[in-house]
Amino acid sequence: MRRTYHQFPQKPELERRYNFRDNLPYIVKVIAGMDGQSGTFITDAPDLKGLIKAKRSIGVEIADRSVNFYPLNKDTFEHVLQNIDIEGTIDFRVNLKYSFLDEKYDRVPFMGDSYLVRTELENGILTVKVHHIEGMGRTECTRIADTIVDEIIRNTPNV
């Protein structure tokens, strides 16, 4: 089954290469584990009048048959792994949802960002390409790539 998205841009905003000793099923498992994670960061307020401390939540999807994306999380990755080769190319869509606490401590959502992420693994070299596709770009493409690599490192058992 093809796991590449037909509209992935020819020239993505970010491309990085890493030495990598594992395989694509491992990458899929690690990225599936990112779904549902969250953290805080400082950004412009939704009305662009000052800075706020916001919550960023991650949602992950994997390309399915070149035109659609399928939710990828800890519950669905086993099904996805059945069709993944050891090396090759897989596309993901990372959706970030943002929210902040107002003066009454109610959580207020505001417009998030979406990114296309392409992982290519060949001969021990992992290439990660990231392209912003929707939203105001409150999170940089480098942060998306760094998060993926940090998760891979964090989840790799020490040998």
Q: What mean pLDDT is reported for the chain?
A: 92
Q: Say how many C-beta atoms besides its own lie within 10 A of residue 61's C-beta.
A: 21
- Is 88 inside a domain boundary? yes
| C-alpha separations of 39 from 19, 34, 74 in Å | 27, 11, 19
Q: In total, how many domains does the chain have?
A: 1
Within-domain flag for 1: no
Q: How far is the C-alpha of 74 from the C-alpha of 78, rounded, in Å?
A: 8
Domain of 92 in residue numbering reads as 14-155
Q: Does residue 5 form part of some domain? A: no
Over the stretch 42-70, which tens digit does the pLDDT of each residue have?
998 888 888 999 999 999 999 988 889 99
Is residue 8 one of the residues assigned to a domain? no
pTM value is 0.91
Rounded (5°) CA angle 73-77-81: 155
Would 144 be classed as within a structural domain?
yes
